[in-house]
Amino acid sequence: MNILVCISKAPDTTSKIAFTDQNTRFDTNGIQFIVNPYDEWYALVRGIELKEQNGGSVTIIAVDEADSDPVIRKAIAIGADKAVRIDARPTDPSFVAQQIAAYAADKNFDMILCGKETINYNGGVVGGMIAEHLDLPYISLATNLDMEGSKAVITREVKGGSEVLEVDGPFVLSASKGLAEQRIPNMRGIMAARTKPLDVVSAAEAADATTVRSYELPPEKGDCKMVDPEHPEELVRLLHEEAKVI
Amino acid sequence: MSILIFAELKEGKATKAALEAASYASKAAADLGGEVIAVTAGHIEGDAGLGAYGVTRVFNASDANTSDSGQLSKAVVAAAQESGASIIVMAHDHAGKLVASRVSVKLNAGIVAGAIALPTNTEGFIVKKSVFSGKAMAHVEIKTAHKVITITPNSFGLHTNDKGTAEVTALSADLGQSKVTVREFKPTSTDGSIPLPEADLVISAGRGMKGPENWGMIEELASEFGAATACSRPVSDIGWRPHHEHVGQTGIAIRPNLYIAIGISGAIQHLAGVNGSKVIVVVNKDPEAPFFKAADYGIVGDAFDVVPKLTEAVKRFNAG
Ligand SMILES: Cc1cc2nc3c(=O)[nH]c(=O)nc-3n(C[C@H](O)[C@H](O)[C@H](O)COP(=O)(O)OP(=O)(O)OC[C@H]3O[C@@H](n4cnc5c(N)ncnc54)[C@H](O)[C@@H]3O)c2cc1C
């Protein structure tokens, strides 16, 4: 089984977010980067589990510049066989999807797994775009993935519930919580990751369809109004008369 | 510029998120000049309720496999061509995200996924979206001729206008062979309650509730408010509550009108997913809990005392 897992780097979840250059650039000063949680915890780990059960290989792909190599090595340490980095700044979801699709087009992957979204851009659309470029079925928000022979049986979240689907042949999937249990890389994995291949490939010709013009931070909250715990009816009154939300 | 929306149907009617997309598109179309057309799939009742939100025409692909994003996106593209719309809008929800991603490739369109405000078109076509899981916002310019926008549920609201009913026609398009088969649909709850991302009121509880056996009082409070329930990450990780209730940076992001957090400390990863809420109420026995800094109203007290009393107060309020 030949599995491709798409990962991206993201600021550690405890990061305080700030911007520079008149709010046009994310300030990476003091920011620790991690593997985007949905990519690592669910997509990558499920890919590795399937390889362990059925044989084959897991390739990691990331579209990013050289400073992301340590993050890619961390992902390899969890148990992938190799990694590929498309050498370009990931500035727009359409651009990233085109790069991954161009790489995967002639490699016959049985499945391409992504996280449901990144925790920095929160788009959730790269997986669907890759599927469209490659003319493959796309199953988003998967919480379970099992193989029954050549068929994949996938549970995914849909509005108001979940749906069990069958897909025959290659597909693209985005991983949601539940698809796998987070794995902590062990010492052997970390040592092995140092020598596993991390190929750098130059980017395919593609233009950005969007540009971030500027960023802003949400407005600060005012003071919190305290209500006496003995009189919660006062809270109900405030929510009705002052906040007007009930 | 005419705007096309993809509206998801449930039992023949547009979902709340789809009606919000229609409201958003109507306002944008009024600003940019143009009409709002909808494309739908599967069984439709009347105009699915879309006319009341400013949609003038609906193209329905009745035979589409509504679980197949490949077929749905083909239907959207066919309707875009038929109507000449260059802006495509849909909800940033389960179905919307997957259809939008495919449509953007088919139309070579730039996409803003997760918009929280109307586009501005003075210095380029710019749409505001939430980034860094709610810790910041970005103003994103779409540079392509076709544009795709998915809008975050509850960020724009529902706005009816009295355009009346929309004219419904069958969409004639070859949607090809479906590549996925649905085995089964399992509803999360049987009472038809609305999905968490679309809920106006949310009652959320954390590790302060001590154990799953104590959620009865949370559910009772939620039912008095007519609210959906949510929880912090550790609560779903240890299995006290289902995963789909987990809100925050690594769960789902929500922006209800009212978010009441009970026994939740207010860690940065939790706040990231809920700070778009209009009003935040925190109930915590620790006056130093960080959540109070992000709250509009607070009660310092033991949840096991406060929640039943609050439920009684809401009951009396509901009784008028
Ligand atoms: C990579 C990463 C991602 C994460 N993502 C998320 C996420 O998406 N969402 C999320 O929620 N968390 C997330 N977390 C976890 C987060 O850091 C916190 O650990 C978590 O939110 C704490 O949950 P809690 O508030 O329920 O529990 P605690 O931090 O244990 O807080 C319990 C609170 O309950 C109060 N309390 C106790 N007893 C009572 C009582 N009887 N009455 C009233 N109050 C009481 C306490 O004072 C305390 O404030 C993430 C962490 C990491 C490392």
Q: Count CB atoms within 10 A of the CB of residue B207.
A: 16
pLDDT value of position B192: 59
pLDDT value of position A96: 97
> What is chain A's alpha carbon radius of gyration, rounded to the nearest angstrom?
21
Q: Please tell me what DSSP assigns to residue B91.
A: E
Cβ neighbours of A219 in B, within 8 Å: none
- CA dist B245 and A189 (Å) reads 33
- CA dist A221 and A228 (Å) reads 21
Instruction: List strand residue ranges (DSSP E) for B72-219, in order.
Output: 87-91, 110-115, 125-131, 136-142, 147-151, 167-170, 180-187, 201-205
Ligand 1 pocket at CB < 6 A: A 13, 37; B 206-208, 232-235, 248-251, 263-265, 267, 269-270, 273, 284-286, 289, 302-304
ipTM of the complex: 0.95
pLDDT in tens, B153-194: 999 999 998 778 999 999 999 999 888 899 999 888 655 567
Dihedral sign for Cα B187, B190, B191, B192, please.
Answer: positive
Residue A68 Cα, gap to closest chain B Cα (Å): 18
Q: List domains and CATH numbers for chain A.
A: 2-217 (3.40.50.620)
Distance from Cα B233 to the centre of ligand 1, integer Å? 7
Interface touch B126/A126, C-beta < 8 Å: no
pLDDT value of position A207: 85
Cβ contact A155:A141 at 8 Å: no
pLDDT in tens, B253-294: 999 999 999 999 999 999 999 999 999 999 999 999 999 999
Dihedral, B230, B233, B234, B240 alpha carbons, nearest 10: 30
Which stretch of A122-126, B48-52, B174-178 has the lowest confidence by average pLDDT?
B174-178
Give percent of chain A above pLDDT 90: 95
Cβ contact A122:A238 at 8 Å: no
Indicate the SS3 state at residue B291.
Answer: helix
Closest-CA residue of A relative to B124 is: A213
Interface touch A167/B180, C-beta < 8 Å: yes
Model confidence at A183: pLDDT above 60: yes
Averaged pLDDT score across all residues of chain A = 96
- CA dist B290 and B276 (Å) reads 17
Interface touch B301/A229, C-beta < 8 Å: yes
DSSP β-bridge partners for residue A225: B297
Distance from Cα B266 to the centre of ligand 1, integer Å? 6
- CA dist B35 and B33 (Å) reads 7
- CA dist A80 and A66 (Å) reads 19
Closest C-alpha to ligand 1, atom 7 = B248
Mean pLDDT of B81-91: 97
pLDDT in tens, A152-174: 999 999 988 999 999 999 999 99
Closest-CA residue of A relative to B278 is: A245
Confidence of residue B129 (pLDDT cuts 50, 70, 90): very high
- Helix (H) / strand (E) element for A73: namely helix A69-77
Interface touch A245/B195, C-beta < 8 Å: no
Confidence of residue A187 (pLDDT cuts 50, 70, 90): very high
pLDDT value of position A150: 86
Cβ contact B201:B257 at 8 Å: yes
Mean pLDDT of A187-204: 95
Which residue among B269, B304, B310 is best mutated to probe the pocket of ligand 1, counting the most ligand atoms within 8 A of its Cβ?
B269
Distance from Cα B236 to the centre of ligand 1, integer Å? 11
Strand A161-168, strand B87-91: pairing: unpaired
